Every structure is written in structure tokens, then in C-alpha cells.
């Protein structure tokens, strides 16, 4: 028989949950009928528990009237498969060169294995997800990514050839509009098609930012393996304007791998996304905490 103390504890637990739901209601209304593009990657993808929680959270967003669009990465999984297949990937000035053999593996892992795992997790959680790549419905028309490097002695810039590494040239979001009207949750692998039908591997952050801009998303959420953008003392910067971001890059506060992430956020905001957020995907329910609490849990970047 359940003791009175246990029943009281259970009652308080349920009351706390009801209070949490009630406090989240204004935020749910704020984002109702809005598109949110979520870039899913990093440690959260490799943890079964975090991946299941993420899937449940995405289903909850859809059930409260929000339109989530998931764009995923898969770098570690690609590296593991290339190693298993004994395919070496040379580096060009520190950047991975992607040849024809490598891009076949990339497409197999991204559009095949990882994409379907995420779709299955969302469907198992009660949602209705459909997986696709940027090649489906001409969603991502890609072009070859070109990087340049300036020779310090001659001051001459040379073009770095990275093979089948691409970037979005055009986003055609018609298929996503259809999915939205059908209550389907799209899960997108960042693989695009070039003008001659060639396959290009696209950075997931870049793909998510371009899709957010093309769909007029209210938010771009970038799940990473850090809390967000940190100041020089290691403290989280909860909010920044575009001009502040540029200042932090100039003074070295934002450096290394965080620079391309904030630049993707800046470009999305510049093209009409209301705000972009960099947050820690290792935190359980990070997406819900960011959207449905007063202060969020990541770094929000907006115009200004």
C-alpha cells in the first residue's frame, strides 16, 4: 500500500509538471504556426538517450502547432565508415578533400543510415517524419565550394580545390511547404545536387542556415557541443546583435570553429530569420528550454 508521504510526493511532482506546462504556454503561443529550423549534430546525435529525447521534443513542437524542420550532420559517423573502408581523405590546407569515392560514402551515411535513424526515432516517439536529402525535389541546388588562400610572401591568392564539397546555390522549399501543410516533420541530409547532376557534400550548419532563410523561419537553432558563445572569462553570452558579433570576432572573443557558426547565424538573420541561437545539444531538452523558458539556454543572435 502506498504511504501518505509517497502520495504527497507524487502529487507535488505532478503539480510541478503542471506548473511548468502552464508557464510554457505563452511561449508556445509565440511560436505557434512558425517554422523552426533545427540543426541536429554533435554529441547529441551519438548518444542514444539524447537522440530519443530530441525526437520526443521535436514531436512535442509539432503537436503544439510549431513547424520543426530538422537538418542533421554526421561527420564522426562518416569518418568511422571511411576508416572501415580504408578510404583515405587527403587534406588541402587543413580542409578535407572529397573525391568521388568519398562523396559516395558521405551520401550513403548521411542520406541513408543517419537520416533514417532520426526519422525512425521521431516516428517511434509518435510523430510523422519523412527523410530526404537536398537532392530530393531540387531542395538544395549546390555549387562547388571554393576557398582561397593568400600566399604570405607573394600576396597572391590561390584557389583551393576541395573536390565534391559544395555550398547551397539555391534553396527550393516547395516540398517543405507541402510537408508543413501535411503535418509532416522533414528530416534533411545536407547533400545537394550540382548543375551537371553531381553530388556535393554540404556543411550541415550552412545547409540549415540557407534553409532557414528560404523558409522564412522564426528561429534557427544550432545544436553544438558547447553551451553557446562564451566571453573571454568562459561565461555564456546570452544574447548578441550582429554588430556585437562582429566586434567579438575582431577582438578574438569569438575564434576558431565558432566563427563559421556565428557567420552562418549572421547570414540567416540578415536574410530575414528573426533570430538564430547556438546552444548545447548535450543538455537534455535543450530545444524546449531555449524556446519555452524566459531566458533560454544558449546564445541568441539577432539583427542590430
In CATH, what is the architecture of 31-302?
3-Layer(aba) Sandwich (3.40)
pLDDT digits (tens, 9 = 90+) for 201-225: 999 999 999 999 999 999 999 999 9
Contact between 268 and 278 under an 8 Å Cβ cutoff? The reply is: no
Tell me the pLDDT tens digit for each residue of 86-138.
Answer: 988 887 766 778 999 999 999 999 999 999 999 999 999 999 999 999 999 99
For cell 541546388, the residue is 141
**Backbone dihedral region of 163: left (phi > 0), alpha (psi from -120 to 50 degrees) or beta?**
left
If one compares 15 and 200, the residue with the highest pLDDT of the two is 200
Segments making up each domain of the chain, as ranges: 31-302
- CA distance between the termini of the chain: 61
The arithmetic mean of pLDDT across residues 166-191, rounded, is 94
Whether pLDDT at 271 is above 70: yes
Burial of 224 (0-12, 13-18, 19+ CB in 10 A): buried
State the pTM of this model. 0.90
> Is the confidence at residue 60, as pLDDT, over 70?
yes
Amino acid at each position: 500500500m502506498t504511504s501518505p508521504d509517497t502520495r504527497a510526493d507524487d502529487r507535488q511532482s505532478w503539480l510541478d509538471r503542471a506548473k511548468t506546462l502552464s508557464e510554457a504556454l505563452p511561449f508556445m503561443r509565440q511560436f505557434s504556426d512558425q517554422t523552426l529550423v533545427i540543426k541536429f549534430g554533435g554529441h547529441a546525435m551519438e548518444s542514444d538517450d539524447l537522440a530519443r529525447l530530441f525526437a520526443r521534443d521535436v514531436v512535442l513542437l509539432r503537436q503544439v502547432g510549431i513547424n520543426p524542420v530538422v537538418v542533421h550532420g554526421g561527420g564522426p559517423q562518416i569518418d568511422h565508415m571511411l576508416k572501415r573502408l580504408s578510404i583515405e581523405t587527403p587534406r588541402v590546407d587543413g580542409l578535407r578533400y572529397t573525391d568521388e569515392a568519398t562523396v559516395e560514402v558521405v551520401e550513403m551515411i548521411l542520406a541513408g543510415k543517419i537520416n533514417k535513424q532520426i526519422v525512425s526515432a521521431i516516428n517511434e516517439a509518435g510523430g510523422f517524419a519523412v527523410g530526404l536529402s537536398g537532392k530530393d525535389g531540387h531542395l538544395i541546388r549546390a555549387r562547388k565550394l571554393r576557398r582561397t588562400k593568400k600566399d604570405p610572401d607573394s600576396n597572391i591568392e590561390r584557389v583551393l580545390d576541395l573536390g565534391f564539397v559544395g555550398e547551397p546555390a539555391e534553396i527550393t522549399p516547395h516540398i517543405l511547404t507541402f510537408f508543413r501543410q501535411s503535418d509532416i516533420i522533414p528530416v534533411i541530409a545536407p547533400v545537394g545536387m550540382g548543375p551537371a547532376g553531381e553530388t556535393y557534400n554540404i556543411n550541415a550548419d550552412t545547409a540549415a542556415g540557407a534553409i532557414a532563410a528560404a523558409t522564412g523561419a522564426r528561429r534557427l537553432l544550432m545544436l553544438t557541443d558547447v553551451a553557446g558563445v562564451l566571453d573571454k572569462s568562459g561565461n555564456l553570452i546570452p544574447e548578441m546583435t550582429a554588430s556585437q558579433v562582429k566586434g567579438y570576432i575582431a577582438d578574438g572573443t569569438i575564434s576558431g570553429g565558432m566563427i563559421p557558426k556565428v557567420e552562418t547565424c549572421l547570414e540567416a538573420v540578415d536574410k530575414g530569420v528573426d533570430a538564430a541561437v547556438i546552444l548545447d545539444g548535450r543538455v537534455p531538452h535543450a530545444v524546449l528550454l531555449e524556446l519555452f523558458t524566459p531566458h533560454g539556454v544558449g546564445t541568441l543572435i539577432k539583427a542590430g
